[in-house]
Structure 1
C-alpha cells in the first residue's frame, strides 16, 4: 500500500435536523470527500484533514440537497 493513500473513513454532519453520512480519505496531502455520486476535494495543508473533510462534506451535502429541492419544485 502506498504511504500517501488512506482507506476511506466515515464522516457525518447534521444539517437542519437531518443526519448525513459520507466517506472521506486523505491522499498525498489532499482530502477527498464522497457523498452519493459526488466527489469534492481540497488540500489540507496546516489544517487537520478531518476539519477539511467536515467543511467539504457540509458544502457537498448542501449543494446536493439544494439541487434536489430545486428539481422537486419543477
Structure 2
C-alpha cells in the first residue's frame, strides 16, 4: 500500500461548507462523465462506482476530502 499523506487545513465553517459543496459538485460531474462510458458498459451498476474510483485516483481523493469535510463540520457543531 502506498504511504498515506496527511494534510491539515484551517478553514472557517463558511469556507469548509463552500469547499464541501464544490467538492460534491466536482465529484458528481466526474461520475456523470464516466458512468456511461464504454469502459464501464458491462460493469454492474452496484460495482461501477468502485471501479471508477479505482481507475481515477483524483476522484477517490475528492471522495475522501468530502468525508473529511463532513466529519469536521459535524464535529464543529
* Class of the TM-score when normalised by the shorter of the 2 chains: 0.3 to 0.5
Judging by fraction of residues, say which structure has more strand: 1
Which one has more relative contact order, counting CA pairs under 8 Å at least 6 apart? 2
Judging by fraction of residues, say which structure has more helix: 2
Scaled by the length of structure 1, what TM-score is found?
0.38
- Compare CA radii of gyration and give the structure with the larger one: 2
